[in-house]
Amino acid sequence: MSSSRPHVLLLGPARTAISGVSTHLNQLFKSRLSTSFQLSQFQVGREGRAENRLGTLLRLIGSPFALALCVVQRKPRIVHINTSFDTKAFWRDVAYLAVSKVLRRRTVYQVHGGALPQELFPGNRWLTSMVRWALSYPDVVVLLSKPELAAHRKFAPDVRLELIANAVDIEDVDLNLERYASNRPLEIVYIGRLAASKGVFDIVQAVAMLRARGIEVHVRLAGSGAAEQQIRQVITEARLTDQVKLLGPVFGAAKGQLWRSANVLAFPTHGEGLPYALLESMAAGAVPVITPVGGIPDVMQDQVHGVFVPPRNPGALADALERLHHDRASLQRMALAGRQRIVDQYSVSRMAAEFHGLYASLM
């Protein structure tokens, strides 16, 4: 790849996959960053691939060698690794970091949620020391939230750390009171991976509680994941098929329309970095009812931009949704405040400018 622009190789899952990291990659590729740097991708992980167990094993074994070949052929100035901090990803990333180091490429290691470094191998001092050593390999570690930044700074004080929050496109939306009118059921959306850790079962339980109180809401769950068949069964057994719909993955215009028709984002996740669903919902005028974990409190204030609920507590989620069902004026007020918060602090142009400065500093 010959170009006068410096080449940056981005590591991450397929850009068509349902994943926050995939969304992040797409934002970078379509941002103004691509006018100053030549961006290309090396696909990491299973997301977006159709493979059996043998295929997965062969990919895991061969992936570092494939990355080395890619770096040799494309000759990037910077290797930008995008990852979530868990044990499986950590060992894979150690190999990737070693490849980048051996081939003398400047390396950005961006952590998109997961465990804090102190918690990755609890009780094992040797492996915890290895995590600290691995974090010293890249030229810079990029984090999404202030709590993550503070935890990494305490864990590895000599490592260069940068805070660059996620961002979303800002499109025109209708935030008139009619959208939130009390003469219609509350329209609730969840967009993300269908997994128990994301709180999807808590959402179904909360809807069942609301129905028992005589409150009708409409919920649309968009995405795919390991829990899809189980969640479908739970919806059927609870006789909620009229209230809760599984849409499968949504993209592009269909995703935008889903956000614009929603009143509320229900996202009672048990643990998170900085979910794109939060930023997208606020930008589109859907009020988040969400758990205050990870970087989420960096973005929104309780009762100002949305409502915080404790994780693993369907009753608290049902109570919050019931209050919003009865108070549509507050719903609209928080929608307006949330939208302005994203416009002011979480635009793609801001994120692209920060990565531009970071890449330039590594040259």
CATH: 3.20.20.120, 1.20.1300.10, 3.40.50.2000, 1.20.1260.10. Which one for 7-167+347-362? 3.40.50.2000
Model confidence pLDDT, tens digit, residues 162-181: 999 999 988 889 898 899 99
Model confidence pLDDT, tens digit, residues 216-274: 999 999 999 989 999 999 999 999 999 999 999 998 899 999 999 999 999 999 988 88
CB proximity list for 171: less than 8 A, separation 6 or greater:
256, 283, 284
The answer to whether the CB of 203 falls within 8 A of the CB of 268 is: yes
Under the banding of pLDDT at 50, 70 and 90, the label for residue 56 is: low
**Among candidates 128, 4, 11, which has minimal Cα distance to 79?**
11
Burial readout 198-231 (b: 16 or more C-beta within 10 A, e: otherwise): bbbbbbbbbbbbbbeeebebbbbbbbbbebbeeb
Model confidence pLDDT, tens digit, residues 305-346: 999 999 999 999 999 999 999 999 999 999 999 999 999 999
Q: Are strands 307-308 and 7-12 parallel, antiparallel or unpaired?
A: unpaired
* Every domain range in the chain assigned CATH 3.40.50.2000: 7-167+347-362, 177-345
CA 25 to mean position of chain CA atoms:
11
* Domain at 177-345, CATH homologous superfamily: Glycogen Phosphorylase B; (3.40.50.2000)
Task: Return d(Cα 335, Cα 331) in angstroms, integer.
Answer: 6
Q: Which two tokens stand for residue 101?
A: 């180091």
Model confidence pLDDT, tens digit, residues 140-169: 999 999 999 999 999 999 999 999 999 998
Task: Return d(Cα 351, Cα 319) in angstroms, integer.
Answer: 36
The answer to whether the CB of 289 falls within 8 A of the CB of 282 is: no
Model confidence pLDDT, tens digit, residues 342-360: 999 999 999 999 999 999 9
